[in-house]
Amino acid sequence: RKEVEQDPGPFNVPEGATVAFNCTYSNSASQSFFWYRQDCRKEPKLLMSVYSSGNEDGRFTAQLNRASQYISLLIRDSKLSDSATYLCVVNRQNQKVTFGTGTKLQVIP
């Protein structure tokens, strides 16, 4: 089983829709969690950290469920500019960072 698993998609959604991605991780010792966004042929950029209490940044909401070992990302009111690959990142302190394979989102006009 992979350490971090994501549905590769693609998720094709119309503008204005709400879309959610999940990411599961296998190591219960994982300590910090992030969502990154990667556009084609560009470097990943930090979208948001993920906390157990849940956190929101505008149209984006991230949540962590330690009991079930998954994190989620919710995007409301999708924009064309949200089209990208969303990477789930799981980190154990002072150890290697593990990336999911990414979920591709395509927002359609």
Partner 1 sequence: GAVVSQHPSRVICKSGTSVKIECRSLDFQATTMFWYRQFPKQSLMLMATSNEGSKATYEQGVEKDKFLINHASLTLSTLTVTSAHPEDSSFYICSAREASTNEKLFFGSGTQLSVL
CB of 1 or CB of 41, closer to partner 1? 41
CB of 3 or CB of 17, closer to partner 1? 3
| Residue 49 DSSP label | E
Residues 69/52, Cβ–Cβ less than 8 Å: no
Return the residues of window 67-96 that contact partner 1 according to CB under 8 A.
87, 89, 91, 93-94, 96
For residues 25 to 64, the per-residue mask of contacts with partner 1, x marking binding by CB under 8 A and - elsewhere, is: ------xx-x-x-x--xxxxxx--x---------------
Does 22 engage in binding with partner 1 (CB under 8 A)?
Answer: no
Closest C-alpha to 71, from 33, 26, 27: 33
Q: Taking the mean position of all CA atoms in its chain, how far away is CA 51?
A: 13
How far apart are alpha carbons 10 and 102 in whole angstroms? 10
Does 21 engage in binding with partner 1 (CB under 8 A)?
Answer: no
In the chain, what's the furthest Cα-to-Cα distance?
43
Task: Please give the residue ranges that form the binding site for partner 1 (CB under 8 A).
Answer: 31-32, 34, 36, 38, 41-46, 49, 87, 89, 91, 93-94, 96-97, 99-102
